[in-house]
Structure 1
Amino acid sequence: MTPTEARNGTSRTARKSTEVGPTSPSWLGVALPVAALVALAALVAAGAFSGAFTAFANFADPGVLVRWGVPVATVTTELAVAVTVGALALAAWVLPRGPLVDRAIGVAGVAAGVWTVAALVQLVLRFSWSTYLPLDSPTFGPALMEYVSTIPVGRTYLGIVIVAALTAAVALLVRGSVGAMCTMALPLVALGMQSSTGHAAGAASHDLAISALFLHLGGAALWIGGLAAIVFVGLRYAATGDVIRRYSAIALWCFAAVAISGLVSAWVRIGSLDGLGTDYGILIVVKSVLLIVLGGLGWLHRSTVVARLSAGTTTRNAAIGLFWRLAAVEVGVMGAVSGVAVALGSTAPPVPDDVIADPTPAEIVTGHPLPPEPTPLRWLTEFQWDVIVAFACAAALIVYVRWALRLRARGDAWPVARTVSWCLGIIVLFWATNGGAAAYGHVMFSAHMVQHMILAMVVPIFLVLAAPVTLLARAVPARQDDSRGPREWVLLLVHSAWGRFLANPIVAAVLFAGGMIVFYFTPLFELALTTYAGHLWMILHFTLVGYLFANVLIGVDPGPSQPGYPMRLVLLFATMAFHAFFGVTLTSGTALLVPDWFGLMGRPWGPSAIADQQTGGAVAWGIGELPTLLLAVGVAISWTKSDAREARRTDRKAERDGDAELEAYNEMLAKKAEQAAKRGEG
């Protein structure tokens, strides 16, 4: 005990005990089972209203067990995967490292085990549901094996079961926040697979529906599962003030993600306001009302519990007790939302997910109508929305500006030019992934190359000059309870062996230049065109690799030591030469890349596919050189400023010590001259 603690009559043990919430009310321990029952009740009510689970009139009935077993298994699956994601998120981002983190990972492992069993049951029952084949049919087994081995939807559901089982196994083996972060990638993969089953591959707005559904499922799982995981981890130990604040911030972002993606998904399936009068539309309204109630409960959390904890206007135990009372109601409403959502997924929407009738060649290949002939104005007005990337861009703008304002509010300076640079970079990124570059980049190789050059060579320059890691380190306080938040994770990555390897100048240059060859002349290019996951990977890869290379040349963020300015220019001009070689190869080439895509587009306007590809080579050569030259100018300016700073430093040092360095140098020269004279005389 320190003297100060002795005077105040407190100790570390006593202080630590005040951080722990009170023992929860006895009724709170049954909140989750009650929520599950509420979910089932909402499912039954919504299903009875829409008739989604009634016997089929014109087809063979697979049986009442199948008709009602599918939605029950689906509710169980979704709640289990939510607890899995929420527990892993708590372990990675919220809880202090140690026993609580390991306990949360254990909860995730058990939840993943339940998820595995429920997903397997769901697979079997859904097959019976979709084929009208009863479970006791003699051909059920062989037909099920063919379903999971040859039918894409069946393979997807089997893949989800395998990922769930793998998640359970890994969660029971790993420990610590790093293990939780790595394990969380598995259920996210499963949610991505599930998103691809929610809209027919050949239906209109396929990619938009997938991106909206993934954001919706991920946000809901983190929101519902995070709260449930706090209960499972331990009401007495996990419900501290810090945990409540952190979960509240995560829940706010999840609410925004669920609300925005839900609106997009509803609009895709309703099509117009008239669709709200259908059974599907009425369930949408009910789900929206419940979501608004959840948002109100979240607002109460932030305005009462979090506000009281931050202001110190009430005791910690009283505030946390209020949190649990609100949380119990919130869990019940979440259960109702889950039940309505499952019933909604089994109800026919006004805009069916049928394959497009009489599709054009472009719709057959891409799933989208062919955009009109490009003009300068249409490059600005045409849009092909990507909900995930658009949401990420909006979040990046809000977070960066908020951090900059936080610094300004406490009296610390942050250059306005850096904030402007970040905003410009994010706006350009948004346009490249949602605007004309995205709309035309899907059907024309030359437009795709414009998108590539912007993502890899224009956006990173703005982002690097904004110094986001430096802002993060200054604006976000370091956590004192040994947990890892955004600041800790980013700095851990920057200073890790992997971070130093990827930021190595040679590695960054090879990834930046050589990545183009690997991408365009392997099946990766076709994967990025034909799958939404590949498309997201392409955006992330181009932007991240460009950021690493630009940061080597002109970055100001902390990280591995940068090479000298002559070496930077050598790397820059070497990549410039490589870009020129790559562009010339495409310009003079006569073999069409991904001919089953660009060659079958059926465009009535514009050049032929091969001529357009050659134009794309010119774009890679020409447009790519301008950002390279700007980087060269930036390196030269930084070099000049560095020399100027070194000269000023030397001058200040000379003023302090009477130019001792110059005097020592002159004395050395005089001694050498004297020694040379003596040797001459000898």
Structure 2
Amino acid sequence: MTATTEPRRPGPWRAATLVGAAVLTVVLGVWFSGAALPALVLDPGPFVRWGLPVAETFVQVAAATTIGSLVLAVCVLPRREERASGARRPARTGPVADGTAYPRSLLVAAWAAGAWTLAAVAQLVLSYANVAGTSVTAPSFGDELWLYVTQISLGRTLGSVVVVAALVTALSMVVRTPTGAAWTLVLGVVALWQLAQLGHAAGAAGHDLATSALFVHLVGAAVWIGALAALAVLVRALGRDVAPAVARYSVIAGWCVAAVAVSGLVSGWLRLGSFAGLDTRYGTLLVAKVVLLVTLAGLGLWHRRRTVSAMAARTADDPGSHGTPAGATRLFWRLVLVELAVMGAVSGVAVALASSSPPVPETPPADPTPAYLVTGHPLPPELTAVRWFTEWRWDLLLAFAAAAGVVVYWRWVRRLRRRGDAWPWARTASWTAGLVLFFWTTNSGPATYGHVLFSAHMIQHMVLAMVVPVFVALSAPVTLALRALPVRATTLSGDVSRGPREWLLVLVHSRLGQFFAHPVVAAVNFVASMLLFYYTGLFEWSLRSSVGHLFMVVHFTLVGYLFVNSLVGIDPGPRRLGYPQRLLTLFATMAFHAFFGVSLVSGDSLLVADWFGLLGRPWGASAIADQQTGGAITWGIGELPTLALAIGVALAWSRDDDRTARQRDRRTRDEDPELDAYNEMLKSLND
């Protein structure tokens, strides 16, 4: 077939549909909600009232394009291996990676991050003008703005977004590898976390849940919208990579749809309070956003089932094409233009919602309790055995991670079975039990009472560090992933980009990964991190900050997994110690837990006294008595899993000895001295 390309391909300017739709919709949404009406006192003027929502829209769109472009560079776009001039390339069969779009994605990220920085500066300036009710042309505006950025929480947050966006701009211009793009992406996600602090419910009791829901929402929307916008900008450079790039993006977009839908539902319910809130202007805007979201999800489903396969077929029909095949380009733009327009509308309605007052007031209670003043939450009812399972303090980020972990693991097992490979059901059951326990520990009773009772906090900590890792390590998730995930180079010849499997291998074989997974380092880290956590300011940070709490959960779960995997795990890692050394390590760990628990039981100094000592609980034991109970819990919960691990190591040692004995017996049978002597005698008689 003669190679053909589209004579007049759509240019990157069509990606501006996103910005145009977003700006138009936010203007209409602000007008409908009445958010831009003049204030009765301290009115900043129409320029500020209308300019602030538009600036926020540009921030969201530019941030999304930056994040999306970096995601493309990290794990989506095909990438060719760089070879020295004159070096011969091995013969390729099947589709061959083009790789032209990969370096340009980093350039798009740099331009988008630069726009993000400028828009964030505009948002900062207009935000202060709106809060202070003054014009940006006021004589003292500059000095007041500086105080706003340096001394006011809202100003510091917006200022930090400007700084991070500027750093992302600089890094995007100099990084060239997927690893560099990944670190830059992490920095961009930090800025999204800062933006999540600015949502509704900042003064309400549901602030932590609202913040985590908004963060999940922002990340999901940024990757979903931004990656597609970046693909639209890069379509001319994609060439024959357009079909695999869109197929890989579609998988990511499916998870983003789930994240945006769940987080949006949680955020909307927090702000509505009840179904009666749907009758308000805020409720009408929320319904409009849900309708747009459902429409976009339907387009994405159609895209996955039909368009991706059709694009691959059109590309295969054009084997000699050096540019983007004409049929694949038309299919790409047919979908992108509609999807970008709806995405822009969703973004615009989101900004309009942020500019509107929700039905549920965000003011704190008029007569807050001591517990509310310290923790920001009402004091839960007295702890009983039933309330370990009926009281909930939701963390949407961790809950979504647990649910996603179960779904992904089951899908990998199903993929193995479809191709005829077996996977032990016990490992699947172990993973499911571990993730269910992780979900309960981070969202139910231990999370609810862990903020007000040291004993409950220690239950949460020890389950995360000692119980959940045992189930996770025995389920061998890394081994399953390496068997179930496809290899990039086998699906597209010459492609050295990193998919999930490649990134997992990079992490496992990296020097940092090998260091922390070493049995000795894992054991020392497991022991020392507990001391550092409780006898430094890290414990208080985990109580007062949602970031600190997330750090605690991730750190101790990961450290526990590395420790257990070095003893009885199945997943790959550094060379494990001999069985006697493993038992010695376990006994040393058991002794440390006993020492730490006894020190808490016998101690009379209250940890984080200005937290646990000022809650004013009318029920339960005193703070110091509860801390001593927590010490006993640390000892008990820590010793039981350790003893179980010791039994597991002993059984593995016994099985290994039996296996070695059987191998020795086989060698003995194969090399029977008496039989060899008899054969030699017969041979000598024949001679």
TM over 0.5: yes
> How far apart in 1 are the matches of 2:16 and 2:552?
42
CA RMSD of aligned residues (A): 2.1
Which residue of the partner structure matches residue 24 of structure 2?
Answer: 41
Q: Using the TM superposition, give the Cα deviation of residue 315 of structure 1 relative to its aligned residue in structure 2, in angstroms.
A: 4.5
The 5 Å alignment of 1:288-299 reads 288-299=290-301
Q: Does 1:450 align with 2:459?
A: yes
Of residues 28, 32, 47, the one that matches 2:15 is 32
Aligned length: 645
Deviation at 1:31, TM superposition (A): 2.2
Alignment of 1:475-490 (within 5 A): 475-480=484-489, 481-490=495-504
Which of 567, 574, 583 does residue 560 from structure 1 map onto? 574
1:128 maps onto 2:161 in alignment? no
Structure 2 counterpart of 1:385: 394
Q: What CA distance in whole angstroms lies between the structure 2 residues aligned with 1:627 and 1:237?
A: 52
C-alpha distance 442-311 of structure 1, shift in aligned 2 (>3 A): farther
Between stretches 73-82 and 316-325, larger displacement belongs to 316-325
Question: Is 1:347 the counterpart of 2:356 in the alignment?
Answer: yes
Q: Cα gap change, 1:575/1:653 in structure 2, threshold over 3 Å: closer, same or farther?
A: same
Structure 2 vs 1, CA of residues 513 and 661 (structure 1 numbering), >3 Å: closer, same or farther? farther
Determine the structure 1 residue equivalent to 2:262. Answer: 260
- Does residue 114 of structure 2 align to residue 113 of structure 1? yes
Offset, 1:306: 2.7
CA separation of 1:631 and 1:659: change in aligned 2, threshold 3 A? farther
Contact 1:287 1:340 in 2 (8 A): yes
| Structure 1 CA distance for aligned equivalents of residues 651 and 266 of structure 2 | 46
Question: Quick one: distance in 2 between partners of 1:659 and 1:341?
Answer: 84
Residues 109 and 314 (structure 1), Cα distance of their counterparts in 2 relative to 1, 3 Å cut: closer
Contact 1:654 1:661 in 2 (8 A): no
* 1:39-188 mapped onto 2 (5 Å cutoff): 39-56=22-39, 58-98=40-80, 100-188=101-189
Which shows bigger deviation, 568-577 or 360-369?
Answer: 360-369
Aligned to 1:4: none
Task: For residues 383-437 of structure 1, give each alpha carbon's deviation from its aligned partner in whole angstroms, at most 9, with x where no partner exists.
Answer: 1111010100010000001101111111111000000000000000000000111
CA contact (8 A) 2:68 2:228 kept: yes
Letter in 2 for 1:348: S
Question: Residue 441 of structure 1 aligns to which amino acid in structure 2?
Answer: G
2: CA distance between counterparts of 1:296 and 1:77?
A: 27
Q: Does the 8 Å CA contact 2:15/2:233 hold for their aligned counterparts?
A: no
Counterpart Cα distance in 2 of 1:661 and 1:618: 64
Spell out the pairing of 1:412-491 with structure 2 (5 A cutoff).
412-480=421-489, 481-491=495-505
Residue 647 of structure 1: which of 643, 661, 681 is its match? 661
TM-score normalized by the length of structure 1: 0.91
Q: Which amino acid aligns with 1:102?
A: P
Task: Please identify, of 623-632 and 349-358, the stretch whose mean Cα deviation from structure 2 is larger.
Answer: 349-358
**Structure 1 residues 427, 249: closer, same or farther in 2, change over 3 A?**
same
Quick one: structure 1 residues 659 and 45, their matched pair in 2 at CA, closer, same or farther if it must change by over 3 Å? farther
State how far apart, in whole Å, the 2-side matches of 1:24 and 1:521 are. Answer: 68
Choose from 513, 516, 533 the match for 1:502: 516
Q: TM-score, normalised by structure 2?
A: 0.91
Task: Give, in angstroms, the shift of residue 183 of structure 1.
Answer: 0.8
Distance 2:579 2:374 in 1: 48
SS of the residue aligned with 2:174?
A: coil
Evaluate the alpha carbon distance shift between residue 49 and residue 201 of structure 1 in structure 2; reply closer, same or farther with a 3 A threshold: closer
Using the alignment, how far apart are the partners of 2:246 and 2:178 within structure 1? 18
Q: Deviations over 1:8-65 (max 9, x none)?
A: x9xxxx9xxx9xx965964453322122111111111111111111211x21221111
CA distance in 2, matches of 1:448, 1:320: 55
1:532 to 546, 564, 568: 546
Q: How many Å separate the matches in 2 of 1:355 and 1:627?
A: 43
Structure 1 residues 250, 578: closer, same or farther in 2, change over 3 A?
same
Partner Cα distance (1:309, 1:124) in 2:
45
Give me the whole-angstrom Cα distance separating, in 1, the residues matched to 2:673 and 2:112.
71
Residue from 257, 264, 278 that aligns with 2:280: 278
Q: Which amino acid aligns with 1:67?
A: R
Contact 2:441 2:464 in 1 (8 A): yes
Structure 1: tracts of 5 or more residues without a match: 1-8, 664-682
Asked if the contact 1:495–1:560 (Cα under 8 Å) also holds between the matched residues in 2, the reply is no
1:585 to 599, 614, 629: 599
* Conserved? CA contact 2:201–2:210, under 8 Å: no
The one-letter amino acid paired with 1:74 is E
**One of 408, 412, 430 as aligned partner of 1:403:** 412
Where structure 2 has 5 or more consecutive residues not aligned to the other structure, the ranges are: 81-99, 319-324, 490-494, 678-687
Task: Tell me by how many angstroms 1:659 deviates.
Answer: 6.7
Contact 2:42–2:132 at 8 Å: present in 1 too?
no
| TM-aligned CA deviation for residue 602 of structure 1 | 1.3
- 1:82–1:220 CA contact under 8 A, matched in 2: yes
Inter-partner Cα distance in structure 2 for 1:32 and 1:662: 82
What is the CA-CA distance between 1:490 and the residue it aligns to? 0.8
Which is further off, 363-372 or 159-168?
A: 363-372
Go from structure 1 to structure 2 and tell me whether the alpha carbon gap of 1:311 and 1:629 turns closer, same or farther (over 3 Å shift): farther
